[in-house]
Every structure is written in structure tokens, then in C-alpha cells.
Amino acid sequence: MLKTALSIAGTDPTGGAGTTVDLKVFQSRGVYGMSVVTSIVAQNTTGVQQVFDQPLEVVEAQLNSVYSDIVPDAVKTGMLASSDVMDVVRPYILKHRIPYVIDPVMVAKSGDDLLDEAGKTAVRYKLLDLATVATPNLPELERILQMTIETKEDIDKAGKMFVNEIGAQSVVIKGGHMEGDATDYLFTKAGCIELTAQRTPTHHTHGTGCTFGAVITAELAKGRTIEDSVRTAKAYITSAIINTPKLGRGNGPVNHFSYPLEDV
């Protein structure tokens, strides 16, 4: 039976991030994709030009439309622009205890804020405890945990806090903002697994976080383990960055068609 996945996030009219790219990724991994739009974002590879946050009743109506008809096999949240939106989303995640991936989007690649200050604090207490996998980058992680992360010891401390104190089943601490090889750290209660790939020198990395999380979501929807899902996501995003199509005048998107289709 065809598996399904739901993306709850903002949009990107140029196709590089948000629900727009999540649907591409789900399709590329052989999963039927659905989306609930939380914010309409006017953005491109050069930055964010304008944001319109959907009224809460519209977000909830979309969620009702999906869950009353096709309950997904896995769900991912990305851009949730406020604490109030999290209050709308949380009951659906809580009721349907399916695999849940949270990409706690706070700032766009261009540096533009995508989450208000109250939301940056609330995400820790309103969603992260429900996560099967959380995928923060280092700046997001520092904001959530209110700590500076500069060393491997800091990463170890942060990962253990996520699974032991915040309550997420697992967290992938992405090392894209650190020096050296591109090493990500998967923390579960069983310990830490390091996933390393050679760093590719490119500024075309728009939507890498969305893409990475969407692959994990698709694999979890198919019944894969957390570790296998994250390993597939790491291989997928590495290929997508190496083979970037070099579109746009700024930080261009990655290539969502470069990972082998037969490996679905």
C-alpha cells in the first residue's frame, strides 16, 4: 500500500524550501505527499521579501481536511511562525502517534527571521517532546537550549539534553555550520552515531534543512528505523549538494533528482 507523509510548513514560490520542496522529496522517495500551509512566503534564492501567516482557523481547517480523510503515515513540521500555530498543531501530533519529524525553522538561509521571539522559546515546550526525530542546525540548537555550542563536548551535552530532558526520541545535530567535514550527530537514548561526508564548497544550499528532514519523514513513513532513515537522508542530501543545479542569483537550491531512484 502506498505510504503517505504530511508536511506542515510555509511555502517557497521558487521551489527550494518549505512544503514546496517537501512534496518533491516525498515523491522522490516513493511516498505520497500532502501539505498544510502555515505561511505564504515570498522568497527566492536572494532572500525573503514578504511573509503572510495564515489565520489560525485556516491552518486548523487544513489539518482537519487531511486528518479526517487521509491520516498520514508520518508528519513533518517546518516553519511554524508563532507559538499560537504550535498550539493548533500539537493536538494532531499528540492524538495520532505516528512518526513525527520537526525541523525547528527559525531563520532562513538569507538570515531573515521566520519565527517570532515567543515562538523561538515555545518550540521547546510545545513540540519537541513529541518528536521522533528533531533536526535543528547549530544556531537553532543554541537558541533552543540557551547555550553556546563550539566543541564536540558541547554537542554531546546538547544531544543528551534533547533525549533525556526535552524528551525527543532522537535528535540529529547538523554540523553544516562547523569547520571541517560535514559531520552530523544522531543522538538517541542508546548513544550517538556520527555521520560524516566530505564538505562540498558551494553556496547553493537553500533548503538543505527542509530536504534532509523530508527524507527522514518519507523513510519513517515506509517503516524504516530512525537510524536507517537518517542514514538515507545523509546520503541523499550529500548527493543533492554535490550535484546542485546552480539556479538563481543567490543561495540556490539543491538537486532533488540526483539520488538513485532505484534506492526507494
Higher pLDDT, 219 or 261: 219
pLDDT at res. 114? 66
Q: Is the pLDDT of residue 264 over 90?
A: no
Active-site pick, 78, 209, 213, 252: 209
Count of residues making up the chain: 264
Active-site pick, 205, 211, 232, 244: 205
pLDDT at res. 255? 94
pLDDT at res. 120? 76
Is 174 known to be catalytic?
yes
Active-site pick, 20, 45, 188, 208: 208
Q: In what order do the strands lie in the sheet with 74-77?
A: 47-53, 32-44, 4-10, 74-77, 100-102, 133-134, 171-173, 182-188, 191-197
3 state SS of 34: strand
Active-site pick, 210, 211, 217, 222: 210
**Per-residue confidence at 139, pLDDT binned at 50, 70, 90?**
confident
Higher pLDDT, 25 or 202: 25
For residues 27 and 35, is the Cβ–Cβ distance under 8 A? no
Beta bridge partner(s), residue 36 = 8
pTM: 0.94
Read off the pLDDT of residues 209-256 as tens digits, 9 standing for 90 and up.
Answer: 999 999 999 999 999 999 999 999 999 999 999 999 999 999 999 999
Query: Rounded to whole angstroms, how far apart are CA atoms 17 and 256?
Result: 11
Indicate the residue type of 251: N
Q: Is the pLDDT of residue 182 over 80?
A: no
Any residues with CB less than 8 A from the CB of 158 and at least 6 apart, and which? 141, 145, 147, 149, 173
Read off the pLDDT of residues 145-180 as tens digits, 9 standing for 90 and up.
Answer: 888 998 889 999 999 999 999 999 999 998 755 566
Beta bridge partner(s), residue 32 = 4
Q: Is the pLDDT of residue 262 over 70?
A: no
Is 207 known to be catalytic?
yes
Is 210 known to be catalytic?
yes
Active-site pick, 174, 175, 232, 234: 174
pLDDT at res. 111? 62
What is the average pLDDT across 42-67? 96
